Amino acid sequence: MTFIEKLRRAWEQQDSLLCIGIDPDPERFPSCVRGADGILDFNRAIIDATAVHACAFKPQIAFFAAQGAERTLERTIDHIRDHHPHLPVILDAKRGDIGTTAEMYAREAFDRYGADAVTVNPYLGGDTIKPFLRYEDRGVIVLCRTSNAGSDEFQGLACDGESVSLRVARKAAGEWNRSGNVALVVGATWPGELAEIRALVGDMPLLVPGIGAQGGGIAAVVEAGIDSRGQGLIINSSRSVLYAGSDSRFAESAAAEAAGLRERINRHRRKHDRGAA
């Protein structure tokens, strides 16, 4: 099963467009999570508690590498694969390089970690995307319009009558998507451009960070980004779910937060379902 097929099945079976970002920061863990396996214990508890509400999980590689915990990242992904195999794993790595270095990054994401998809940075051009695209059953999620305010310095610049982000979207939906395994990152903080990108790329999946702490609104995201099937969005939440609770019931608190987000997304999704009669 390809990443896109697995994702579409998860959207249907889970009735959810919510992606849970796995960004473990031991300084924010509750006091009950301690010891050498604290990161893994925390991740497993969060994953098991929130899986019923999610369409995907997105571990962020820097939160593991900074702790020298790459093996824990492997074990975290193994846990998802073993206990929640119907949910795709998106490795948030934002890799971007050329030649054999890009090939090694692709091997890292797909062979070492076994991710279903990975985020990549297209700044160096199509050369940096090609090694990832060779894994035709895996997803390649291209940074297009990121959620941070500073993204406008470059992504918002005009390029032959359209923004750089729209040029990236056009390339991704056309030349780079010959195997149908490309998706885009489009931040929740840019709903106007999210709508333009959706119109340009059709039903291509869009990974949407930036709701909550970064100021993106669920209603605006769903209205701008939902596809013709009433799906198409991977709406990510990390900190608001992971750290919803600070005591021994942290996993239950995370589950409650995820359930609430899923319900809010679905409420607006039903309202703006373009596939509805």
**C-beta of residue 57 within 8 angstroms of C-beta of residue 20:** yes
Residue of 94, 130, 171, 271 marked active site: 94
Is the CB of residue 204 less than 8 Å from the CB of residue 182? yes
Verify whether residue 94 is a known catalytic residue. yes
CA 217 from chain centre, in angstroms, equals 17
Which residues have a Cβ under 8 Å from the Cβ of 256 and sit 6 or more positions away?
A: 244
Q: What gap in Å lies between CA 254 and CA 260, rounded to an integer?
A: 10
Rounded to 5°, the CA angle 113-117-123 comes to: 105
Asked whether the beta carbons of 242 and 23 are under 8 A apart, the reply is yes
Active-site residue list: 94
